[in-house]
């Protein structure tokens, strides 16, 4: 089976004063398998692998990522922990996905 590794920039935005976190949504081919979330320069990016067949299709599916700062209160129901990142200012961020 041939696969391709894809990269998406995560542009986090505040969606609600009441949710307690920031969200980013990417649109991936079917079967996107998360590999890693890291800083690349000043951007937070996600890498994942997809079977080559699905890369060639036009169907895309929304995948949501959540950014939470240390000490923030939020509801983690339905979320899967991905990683923790430290930015250049020393702030610690935690990434989850739905």
**82 three-class SS:** strand
Q: What is the pLDDT of residues 71-90, one digit of tens each?
A: 998 889 999 999 999 999 99
What's the number of domains the chain is made of?
1
Taking the C-alpha atoms of residue 90 and residue 87, their distance in angstroms, rounded to an integer, is: 5
Taking the C-alpha atoms of residue 65 and residue 69, their distance in angstroms, rounded to an integer, is: 13
State residue 80's pLDDT score: 95
Q: What is the pLDDT of residues 41-62, one digit of tens each?
A: 999 999 999 999 999 888 899 9
Residue 88 in tokens: 């250049």
State residue 17's pLDDT score: 65
Bridge partners (DSSP) listed for residue 38: 45
Confidence of residue 93 (pLDDT cuts 50, 70, 90): very high
Range(s) of the domain holding residue 15: 3-97
Q: What is the pLDDT of residues 7-42, one digit of tens each?
A: 999 999 987 666 778 999 999 999 999 999 999 999
State residue 29's pLDDT score: 94
């Amino acid at each position: 089976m041939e696969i391709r590794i894809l990269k998406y920039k995560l542009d986090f935005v505040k969606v609600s004063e009441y949710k307690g976190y920031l969200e980013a949504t990417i649109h991936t081919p079917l079967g996107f398998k998360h590999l890693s979330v890291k800083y690349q320069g000043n951007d937070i990016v996600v890498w994942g692998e997809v079977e080559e067949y699905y890369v060639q299709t036009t169907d895309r599916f929304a995948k949501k990522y959540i950014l939470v700062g240390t000490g923030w209160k939020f509801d983690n129901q339905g979320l899967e922990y991905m990683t923790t990142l430290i930015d250049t200012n020393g702030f610690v961020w935690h990434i989850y996905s739905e």
